[in-house]
Chain A
Amino acid sequence: MPDTAEEDLSLLEALDHLLDRGVVIAGEAVISIGDVDLLYLGLNVVLANVDAVTRVSSGKK
């Protein structure tokens, strides 16, 4: 399994493509990946988000 931050990010990006926001509807069964938000949380740790833009804009870092 990956053991560096870069590989972790690659894994998250791969899962991002593979899971489509946590619901798979191509098959017969509709499967939800309930905790998929964790993946996005992981990505957002690496990548800034809009709240950060707003905080910086307002001078409230």
Chain B
Amino acid sequence: MIYVYAITRESALPDSEGVDLTRHFGTTSIDSVSAVFTEVGDDEFSQETIDRRAADLEWLGAIGYRHQAVVQDVMKKTAVVPLRAFTLFSSEDALRRYLHEHADMLGAALDRLDGKQEWTLRVELEPQKWSDALASRVDSLRELQEQIASASPGKAFLLRRKLDDERKRASHEAENALLSEVERAVLDRLRCETVAESRERRDGGFPQINVLINRDEEATLQELHETLNDRYASEGVSLALTGPWPPYTFAHA
């Protein structure tokens, strides 16, 4: 079985260890694209093994760490389309067929990603402050709060229940609006591509925006990050910036 780390423009070997803890890498080239890989045992990376070991963070982390190190190493030498961890082919022939069939798409991706970095802006919410700030973002909440203030005890009780439901809906909508605002601010400031991931897309995790920038625009992104944090602090919103990552998200976007 062939474990592939990245598609590259030129054949390039990493200096770091591979997922098998050796430095035995292979490369194969066809139609102006190459791939860097490690040959691994069929059992070691079978779906059955992965199912059994996926909950083992130490194992998963070790694979991820080595995969990441190889991709970053190769990126220093040539343009790459980074592949996600556990990208597997049954044989080198199968990998060559894939490269041949997708050569145009992969060549275009190499051109697009050359000299680029991926960064991630995660939108984190402090529950109490964000909840309080919702009233100023959403008219219907403010109106309900005003009605409760002047209502009889019985009516106020019913209105409070309505307010709870309304707040859940409003929080969801306001969060998506906030995500769009932040994405707009990034696109206005930087010449970049973005992929926004809502809370639904993130399976309940905080939403985030992946940003693909030129390497020389890192300082501008850092500056924008600070500006946005200042802008939203009073609403309990903070943005966590992580990177640079190999452009995993944009390799498939």
Contacts and interface: CB of A to CB of B under 8 A. Distances in A.
A14 B98 contact: no
A28 B131 CA distance: 46
B83 interface: yes
B85 A24 contact: yes
B73 interface: no
A8 B94 CA distance: 36
Contact of A27 (B51, B87, B118, B127): B87
Contact of A40 (B55, B131, B203, B251): B203
Interface string B163-197: 01001100110010000000000000000000000
Contacts of A11: 57, 61, 64-65
Size class of the B contact interface (CB-based, 8 Å):
35 or more
Contacts, number: 132
Interface string B14-26: 0000000000000
Interface residues of A, number: 40
Nearest to B249: A17
A5 B189 CA distance: 33
User: Which 5 pairs from chain A and chain B are nearest by CB?
Assistant: A27-B87, A35-B55, A18-B85, A35-B54, A28-B89
Interface of B: 4, 45, 47, 50-51, 54-55, 57-58, 60-62, 64-65, 67-68, 83-90, 94-95, 98, 118, 120, 122, 124-128, 130-131, 134, 164, 167-168, 171-172, 175, 199, 202-206, 242, 245, 248-249, 251-252
